[in-house]
Amino acid sequence: MSKLSDPRRAPRSAWGRFLAGFTYAFRGLWYALRTQRNFRVHTGVALLVIIAASLLRLSPIEFALVAVAIGSVFISELVNTSIELCLDLLHPEYHPLVRAAKDVAAGAVLLSALLAVAIGVCVFGPHLWSWWHTLRH
């Protein structure tokens, strides 16, 4: 449990602290969804990809690859948001190192998204090609 949590509200038992961790995690996800436009965009794209994966009946391995790609984008976006929030708190005025750190974190999100696109092309490409040829004949 984070030292920043309000100790008056912290559960006393180990099991209670464990369960409280899920509350904090869901609160973080909800914060990102509410406040981060890119997180909402990634969520919408992920939902469309999951629907397409279901319609195209991806194999379990293909679906796992897609799920890992989606997860990596969400994880990198959450880490990027955390870095930006911390830097804004610690150094609210412009500083070239703060900008560089934020740019590097954004670069991680970009690389993660590009990897997800590459995985999507490799996984969905053959299915879409087959579907397209079925429509044409």
Are the C-beta atoms of 36 and 77 separated by less than 8 Å? yes
Q: Which residues are catalytic?
A: 77
127 annotated ligand-binding residue: no
Which ranges in the chain belong to alpha helices (H)? Answer: 14-35, 37-55, 60-90, 96-136
**Residue 94 marked as a ligand binder:** yes
The annotation status of 84 as a binding-site residue, yes or no, is: yes
b/e per residue, 72-109, with b = 16+ CB within 10 A? bbbebbbebbebbeebeeeeeeeeeebeebeeebbebb
Q: Is 31 labelled as part of a ligand binding site?
A: no
Q: Is 77 annotated as a binding-site member?
A: yes
Say if residue 24 carries a ligand binding annotation: yes
Annotation: binding site for ATP: 17, 24, 84, 93-95, 102-103
Annotation: binding site for a divalent metal cation: 84
Annotation: binding site for substrate: 17, 77
Annotation: binding site: 17, 24, 77, 84, 93-95, 102-103
